[in-house]
Amino acid sequence: MASKILSLLLLLFVFIACNQKNKSDADLVELAKKDSLANCSINPNGQSELAELMRQMQGHINSIRDAAIAGTISGEVPGFLNNIHTAKPTDSTMVDGEFDSRADEYLAAVKDLYHRYPESQKIAFNTVVSKCQSCHEHYCPGPLVVIKKMYIPL
Ligand code: HEC
């Protein structure tokens, strides 16, 4: 009985080992790339323009959070945000046909925030964060943990 179980386990082991061998190196590289894209983690081949821009967008939103709470945001939307349409992503296949319209929704939300009356800036700020969130739910959930912490409690 025990030897039967043992040989079954052995079979299972051989089966699993073979299955893993079936993945070629190229497959594994593809998989690792997909994984890192799925999480938007640091690209080992250097940073893409879009990843760099995302970190600047993150810095921007964090830098105006207190002002949104105080209702003192005014002036012009920083021009660099428009680069979202041209910045090159880590992998061009990740940017699908929806990317530009999602990017426009985000830009429109930022613009709206800059033109709000003080008392509604908190809500407008949270709308911007919701655009970060929805885009990341679609493309890469990695940064969602940080993004969800950006909301201003109302
Ligand atoms: C239009 C879709 C879209 C919107 C809106 C968006 N992101 Fe991203 N974000 C992406 C994509 C796609 C990547 C992957 C970029 C790459 O790897 O080239 C990314 C990457 C990131 C990264 C990882 C950067 C790195 O170091 O690899 C962070 C952090 C991030 N976004 C935060 C934000 C924040 C904060 C906002 C809102 C202010 C935001 N994103 C809005 C699509 C979006």
* CA–CA distances in Å: residue 145 to residues 3, 17, 83, 133, 139: 49, 35, 24, 10, 14
State the pLDDT confidence band at 43, using cuts at 50, 70 and 90: low
In the chain the first and final C-alpha atoms are separated, in Å, by: 65
Closest residue by Cα to atom 31, ligand 1, is 54
Q: 3: pLDDT confidence band, cut at 50, 70 and 90?
A: low
Q: Is 8 exposed, middle or buried (0-12, 13-18, 19+ CB in 10 A)?
A: exposed
φ, ψ of residue 13 in degrees (nearest 5): -60, -45
Q: Binning pLDDT at 50, 70 and 90, where does residue 15 land?
A: very low
Share of the chain above pLDDT 70, in %: 70
Which residues have any ligand 1 atom within 6 Å of their CB?
40, 42-43, 48, 50-51, 54-55, 57-58, 61, 89-90, 94, 99, 102-103, 106, 131-132, 135-136, 139-140, 143, 147
Indicate which residue's Cα is closest to atom 32 of ligand 1.
Answer: 54
